[in-house]
Amino acid sequence: MKVLLVKDVKGLGKTGEIKEVKDGYGQNFLIGKGFAKHATNEVIKKHEASERRKAEAEANEVEAMKALSAKLEKLKIVISKKLGNTGHLFGAVTKEEIAHALHEQHGIEIDKKHINHKEALKTTGTHDLDLKLGHGIHATLHVEIKGA
């Protein structure tokens, strides 16, 4: 009996593979528990069409991320923070403030979890931050911190 695995099965195979198994194991365990479907031509064609749609969607998403990365490289955001008597910032500029400023100034939504900076931004001036957009695509965001 041929089955199309819809879930990973330890010792048998990964999702999307077509395997030849004994009738009882395939019918009673794999199909019965929802790990596989009987591998008819119709089921295989539906699975292949679904895989193509997923690949196209991922390719579109990668293109969108590359376009966003190119756009972010050219942008600069300005954040004004209150300064103390010594000229240092009160506190640090947070990832949430950076994401909010990017949305306010340029209309681009970025989750604060995608902003990657190792040290806290506690000084005025221009800082370059690394953004992880997904699918291995990174962008550099230029942030200028001014004293208010």
pTM of the model: 0.72
Give the model confidence (pLDDT) of 124-142 as tens digits: 899 999 999 888 899 999 9
Q: What is the DSSP string of the chain?
A: -EEEESS-BTTTB-TT-EEE--HHIIIIIIITTTSEEE--HHHHHHHHHHHHHHHHHHHHHHHHHHHHHHHHHH-EEEEEE-B-TTS-BSS-B-HHHHHHHHHHHH-----GGGEE-SS-B-SSEEEEEEEEEETTEEEEEEEEEEE-
Q: For residue range 101-129, list pLDDT tens digits in order.
A: 999 999 999 999 999 888 888 888 999 99
Q: Mark the ranges of the chain whose per-residue pLDDT is less than 70.
A: none
Domains and CATH numbers, the chain: 2-63 (3.40.5.10), 67-147 (3.10.430.100)
In the prediction, which pLDDT does 89 show?
86
What integer pLDDT is reported at residue 88 of this predicted model? 80
pLDDT at 120: 84
